A and B are shown apart, each in its own frame.
Chain A
């Protein structure tokens, strides 16, 4: 069975400080990992995917298969980064179905 764990329910940082959201997964197969974000009063939306190896809004995430992790990082947090972040897992072995973690609320204080 596939599972995604986000150990932190809440992360509170000051503007300009680094932020790292942890995500660990379990999956038997070749996983595809994603980060989804939900800003206040907005819809859940895709932020980035590991395959793209891209930086979106200053965020990056590296898939570490040895540690089964996909942590999300940003060196300098901004107030507009305050949101709920969900790590998600998919893969062909699971029929491309998305499994979400429990979410981490990020609060960036001025």
Chain B
């Protein structure tokens, strides 16, 4: 079992450019989460999906961030345009379902640097 897969692992872009992150959750996990982790801080939830439906996107900056989970499996998180303050590690996690949302399995993360 590969666990949660994320790509790319590292990304360096200039400000105002677009960027996209991809996540493949653990097979059979219905719930998928995207977090942002700034340096020296804990992960902060951006959005979570139950199957294809975004059940909580209140923390997602919708002016520049978007996400999708087509077919209820893989997910993509996009930033357009990126700003300097978006530099962070973006984590994807999955859990069996919302009820077991406390037991999340995390991917390795994508470290984004915006210059």
User: What residues make up the interface of A, taking CB atoms closer than 8 Å to B?
Assistant: 4, 9, 32, 34, 43-46, 49, 86, 88, 90, 95-103
Contact = CB atoms under 8 A, between A and B. Distances in A.
B101 A90 contact: yes
Chain B, interface SS category = loop
B19 interface: no
A97 B106 contact: no
A100 B105 CA distance: 14
B45 A98 contact: yes
Interface residues of B, number: 24
A86 B106 contact: no
B41 A43 contact: no
Interface of B: 3-4, 40-45, 48, 55-56, 91, 93, 98-99, 101-109
Contacts of A101: 42
Contacts of A97: 45, 48, 56, 101
Given A88-B102, A103-B40, 7 more contacts: A34-B102, A43-B4, A46-B103, A88-B42, A98-B102, A100-B44, A102-B41
Contact of A100 (B3, B43, B55, B99): B43
A2 B24 CA distance: 29
Contacts of B56: 95, 97
